[in-house]
Amino acid sequence: MQCRTGCGACCIAPSIRDPFPGMPAGKPAGVRCIHLTEDLRCGLWGHTDRPKACGDFQAEPDFCGHDRRSALRLLEVIEIATLP
């Protein structure tokens, strides 16, 4: 599956626990990453300082659903289920 244009759910819904450029404390769940562009694309795509969690994420129907709204909901459920 290819990332859906205009989605950005993976840059909003999950937390990122490791520090990365511009977000030294990581990113809380439900907070928009500061590198998410206006057209909902990753501003760090292809950069070596992109968080590992982001590089490891692969778009799949189980995570992304059928549209942006379902992706946000699915990723929120996964975030809650995997809290430490």
pLDDT band at 61 (very low <50, low <70, confident <90, very high): very high
pLDDT band at 40 (very low <50, low <70, confident <90, very high): very high
Does 84 have pLDDT greater than 90? no
What is the residue extent of each domain of the chain?
A: 9-81
How large is the average pLDDT for residues 60-84? 94
Among residues 58, 49, 60, the alpha carbon closest in space to that of 24 is found at 49
Does 5 have pLDDT greater than 90? no
Does 1 have pLDDT greater than 90? no
Does 83 have pLDDT greater than 90? no
How large is the average pLDDT for residues 45-65? 92
Count of CB atoms within 10 A of residue 72's CB? 19
